Chains A and B, each alone.
Chain A
Amino acid sequence: MRKLSVVAILLAVLFMPAWAFAQESPPAMVGTYDALADAILALKEAEADFVRSLLVYHFDAANMQHVLGHPEETAREMALFANEGDNAIAGIRKRLLDGGHHHNAAGEAEGIYERGYVIVTLEAKWAVMKASAAMRQAADEEAVLAAWRDFVEIAGSVLQPEE
């Protein structure tokens, strides 16, 4: 099998077209890779946009529950915002990571993100979880409002459009 491979390479070199000896990659392959790169980057952007819309969903849901005067449900939506979704989303994230798709390897190395988080930094996550716990345990209206204000402030900075 190995001998056959060597013969095949020799034959390929002998009959290679002249342009194959030029010191550049084939233009058609460059073009294909260029298009592929567009698709890869667009997919990555689409993932970030999707997670952003998930965050907006949980923010809106928290807002609705807050307006309705349901602190426990508000706290729940806040926690799901902090975690970029529920455990079903976490399962998908795990699958992506196991497949080698790591959104924030650089960030994680600097201790900024948890494995696979896309938008919410660990710092923001911790702060929202704290606000969520405060909302759940709020003893009076003032405590509810304080927890809500904290959440809105952090969520606002997380959801700010990228420059």
Chain B
Amino acid sequence: MSVQRRCRVLPGLLLLVGSVGAALTPAPTTIRFVDAGAEAGVSLVTWHGRPDKPHLLESGGAGVALFDYDLDGDLDLYVVNGWRLDGAEVVERGANALYQNSGEGVFVDVTEDAGVGDRGWGTAVTVGDIDGDGHPDLFVTNFGSDVLYHNTGGRFEVIEADVGIDGWSSSSVFFDGDGDGDEDLFVTGYIETSLDDVMQAKVGLRWKNTEVMRGPFGFEGLANRYFVNDGAGNFSDATAAAGLDDVGLFYSFGVVATDLDADGLVDLYVANDSNPNYLYRNLGGGQFEEVGLWSGAALDHRGMAQAGMGIATADYDADGLPDLFVTNFADDTCTLYRNLGRMAFEDVSAPAGLVEPTFGPLSWGTVFADFDLDGDLDLFVANGHIYPQADSVASANTSFAQPNHMLEQTDDGFRDVSAEAGPGLEVRQSSRGVAVGDIDNDGDLDLVIANMDAPPSVLRNESARLGEWLAVDASGAVAVEVTAAGHTWRRQRVRGGSYASSSDDRFYFGLGSITGPASLRVRWPDGSVTERTGMALGQIAVVTR
């Protein structure tokens, strides 16, 4: 090749190489979160035992709820608190807190006025309207007696009822299990233990050349329980009658309720630590059958049980069926179960690109949401180890406080964009529960994350928007479809999920480059449908039955 010809070819070659390189390098993410920190007004430190965590109870942390308790159109925040211990002494019985949203996502503590400052060792919170009066009520699980709060219209009263688990109840969910139109309640139990055990606990399990808390192996599992509502907010135990027995007495953490097989009935999925997960198919008439092992959603692709913690549920691949994403312990992957229909699931974590980013950290709360409004669902995962001793073991190659994960969905699966997603993703805490919601009503979805022995993180979404949005406030609806420019997006009602937390119950749609107007189909529990056409985008549309 002559020098002259080489000179002609080289620039072309470089251009080609450059183009291929650019094609192989993914475009930088537009997802960006900032830590609103003290500016958001949420300063409550939530306590979870002693700094060295000698008992398993001190490892589970707690959750948060985003819900509109005063029906003023913006999301308020409920934060669950535990106890602070020093040796065998209780230093502080932390009170839960309710923060009223004063608009634009700034919160003011109204706990005392609202009467919701329970001082039990709190673990989780779920939201539901137990008597159908339109005011959202709260159920708080504790280590000890759980608490049912009835919202009387901006103030709450404790309902004295035999509901919940007197022990370490770890999560709960309100859902209509028997199809009679009211909110029933499922409560998960973790392990049998007592306050004496907690107070006297000493580290003793060898882990990576150091001693850490014992368990869960060696503890007896605490049975899950299910309570049916008579419609007036009175609950009675129907666990066995409904077929919801905790047959394995597994160590249950997260729970989610949604219709997984598109038969119009709400099914239940329970994440179990170190045991197969449960999947309860709703047969109708208030009856369930446990189908976890044969569904493919109880074990990972190797056929192994994992250490299930939290659950995200949504139709990530837009095929009309909700899928399941389960967070697990460190040195193991989180698992994405793709819904194949008829209660069959397949572990697609590897092809979805989720193995590498999720293998190292210990993961808890998790949510699917379209954070950049590009029309597909991304994943957020809260991380944090259970052993504080991880900080002093160099070979452990991990730490108690861990950065959280933002996993953006692309055409090639999920991509870890945490390092590029702004200062909100630089926060390092030992995180647990997560709730997602539009706290400033600006159309994009924000995050609140519960942290161990620290205040919650309020992460405000400041992503560059890749498209239009539409939100639908349709209390009681089971599903919403939005159609615009020939494209249809579907969201199904999901109750519970994440970890120990409760999220915004409005339906949010990122629409990508589609422009309006849009039409809506809102489906109600009785099968009836409300339709709207000519909807302008960029609004929160309120639809009532």
Using a CB–CB distance below 8 Å, which chain A residues touch chain B? 72, 75-80, 82-83, 86-88, 90-92, 94-95, 97-98, 114-115, 122, 125-126, 129, 132-133, 136-137
Contacts and interface: CB of A to CB of B under 8 A. Distances in A.
- Consensus secondary structure, chain B interface: loop
5 contacts: A78-B294, A86-B247, A114-B303, A125-B303, A137-B340
A116 to B, nearest CB: 10
B293 A133 contact: no
B103 to A, nearest CB: 48
A122 B302 contact: yes
A133 B302 contact: no
Given A90-B248, A90-B275, A91-B249, A133 B344 contact: yes
Nearest to A126: B303
Contacts of B342: 72, 136
A80 B344 contact: no
B298 interface: yes
B249 A94 contact: yes
Interface in B301-317: 302-305
B344 A91 contact: no
A132 B294 contact: yes
A91 B303 contact: no
Contact of A88 (B217, B247, B275, B344): B247
A133 B291 CA distance: 14
B278 interface: yes
B250 A91 contact: yes
Interface residues of B, number: 28
A126 B302 contact: yes
Which of A75, A92, A136 has the most chain B CB atoms inside 10 A of its CB?
Answer: A136
Contacts of A122: 302-304
B414 to A, nearest CB: 23
Nearest to B296: A133
A97 B274 CA distance: 12
A91 B302 contact: no
Contact of A76 (B275, B294, B299): B294
B422 to A, nearest CB: 40
A83 B248 CA distance: 14
Interface of B: 217-221, 247-250, 275-276, 278, 290-294, 296, 298-299, 302-305, 340, 342, 344, 346
A133 B290 CA distance: 17
Contacts of B290: 86-87
A88 B248 CA distance: 5
Given A82-B303, A133-B344, A136-B342, A94 B248 contact: yes
Given A122-B302, A126-B303, A94 B293 contact: no
A129 B340 contact: no
A72 B291 CA distance: 12
A121 B247 CA distance: 24
Which of B250, B276, B293, B302 has the most chain A CB atoms inside 10 A of its CB?
Answer: B293
Contacts of A79: 293-294, 296
Contact of B296 (A86, A87, A129): A129
A91 B247 contact: yes
Which of B219, B294, B296, B344 has the most chain A CB atoms inside 10 A of its CB?
Answer: B294
Nearest to A90: B248
A122 B300 CA distance: 12
Contact of A136 (B278, B298, B340): B340
A86 to B, nearest CB: 6
A82 B292 CA distance: 13
Contacts of A132: 294
B359 to A, nearest CB: 18
Contacts of B218: 98
Contacts of A72: 342
A125 B276 CA distance: 14
Contacts of A125: 303
Given A79-B294, A80-B293, A87-B298, 18 more contacts: A72-B342, A75-B294, A78-B294, A79-B293, A86-B293, A87-B290, A88-B248, A90-B276, A90-B293, A95-B249, A114-B303, A114-B304, A126-B303, A129-B296, A133-B344, A136-B340, A136-B342, A137-B344
Contacts of B276: 83, 87, 90
